[in-house]
Amino acid sequence: MSASTLRRPPLYGLIGEFESPVALIKAARRAREAGYRKMDAYTPYPIHELTEALALPRTKLPVLVFIGGALGCATGLFIQWFATTSRSPSN
């Protein structure tokens, strides 16, 4: 290795621009096959094929929403029970 390359800052990452969604997906697939894992792609609209091409992790969102929904449901039922039976029973 020559002295000139050593003075350069270490490689942080690579960036590429693609003309069409098809080219982007192909590039993403190739990069993953080549062993790259820390990847992201920026697109003006959702391209579902990229999720698989970039091997993105599954989102925990559905679990969080379910917990939120269950808590909300339990709170609602509790308020109704509390208000109508224990606090002010309307026979």
Residues in contact with other proteins by CB under 8 A are 20-22, 25, 40-51, 54, 56, 59, 61-62, 65, 69, 79-80, 83-84, 87-88, 90
Indicate the helix (H) or strand (E) that contains 26: helix 21-33
Query: Which C-beta is closer to other proteins: that of 1 or that of 42?
Result: 42
- d(CA 44, CA 61) in angstroms, rounded, equals 22
Measure the CA–CA gap between 36 and 12, rounded to whole angstroms.
13
Given the complex with other proteins, which of 43 and 74 has the nearer CB atom?
Answer: 43
Contact 21, 47 (CB under 8 A): yes
- Distance of closest approach, residue 12 Cβ to other proteins, in angstroms: 17
Whose Cβ is closer to other proteins: residue 74's or residue 84's? 84
